[in-house]
Structure 1
């Protein structure tokens, strides 16, 4: 079997999800337990690995679960979800290569050229009177919308991977919601 680490799922073959800022990404709602997230994703045709502990900070255990389409090879993770103790699901990362297409107010967020998404998000943020923020990696993001676009390599090109989060009593800002493991994905 040929291993294709940079293969990108065609737009027409991606599941289509909507995004409700600071509330949910498709079937995944912030605050869900690992078990509830697994059940919601199974209904949508995704399977998961076993939740793994990625750290313990203070009294809170941090867990990670990776989801892939049921018929996808084991290495094609589409979504990574992060959980913090009693707060449940706090961060959702959608893979640029194999994740579902997430749409927010008519804007396609996943698997796009970063400059195109930045231009479209900038126009949206200006039109709606929201703050335009530059992420730590130089992309346009929004604390108010709970989204942090990131560039992910797909062979010789970069495509958008989105990280969604909701601040809580553990993490005061969007960037605090993103576990260190996620910053290592490129």
Structure 2
């Protein structure tokens, strides 16, 4: 099951976020501007905005908004990292495996799961409910929803789930193609 490593994990606004395909996650809505993301995020914690490296000229300039949970001692990874494109607005929301909110897809918890347990649960759920599941090109299992891209995040000796909730951005055909380069590093999250 999903891990809850911090005592304050259930703090207001952080415990569980809902996901709506093509709409958003928790208080973050796809298409928001950087200012709108910061405003929504500051209700929950500290927001820090930085430029993303522009590795592909087909994409418009992109910003990364790191949201750190209020009351968590620094240095601490961001609980949520949001990526905002100049052309399409907010297009990617990454939930940290340890500090992020819990998000489920049709009852399947996605954040902070041991990747092998998530795979077993996804297959079992798919068989029981006669619904599909999918694998990423890297071999991570997740729901059969193009707006959810599962990533692995090392947490101590374990590999935990770090889902990316996405819509396509300018110049991309799929969410996988839209993935920010900061989220691609030898198959591991770097945020």
Q: Tell me the TM-score normalized by structure 2.
A: 0.81
Q: Could you give the per-residue CA deviations for residues 111-142 of structure 1, whole angstroms, max 9, x where no partner exists?
A: 11112222333344553644x32212211135
Q: How many residues are matched?
A: 178
State the match for 2:6 in structure 1. 9
State the match for 1:149 in structure 2. 150
Distance 1:138 1:62 in 2: 27
Superposition RMSD in Å: 2.4
Distance 2:75 2:9 in 1: 21
Quick check: 1:54–1:64 contact (8 Å CA) kept in 2? no
Distance 1:86 1:76 in 2: 27
Q: Which runs of structure 1 show a deviation greater than 6 angstroms over 4 or more consecutive aligned residues?
A: none
Structure 1, unaligned runs of 5 or more: 1-6
Q: Which moved more, 1:156-165 or 1:68-77?
A: 68-77
Superposed displacement of residue 35, structure 1? 0.8
State the match for 1:167 in structure 2. 168
The within-5 A match list for 1:18-167 is 18-43=18-43, 45-55=44-54, 57-58=57-58, 60-72=60-72, 73-125=74-126, 127=129, 129-130=131-132, 132-142=133-143, 144-167=145-168
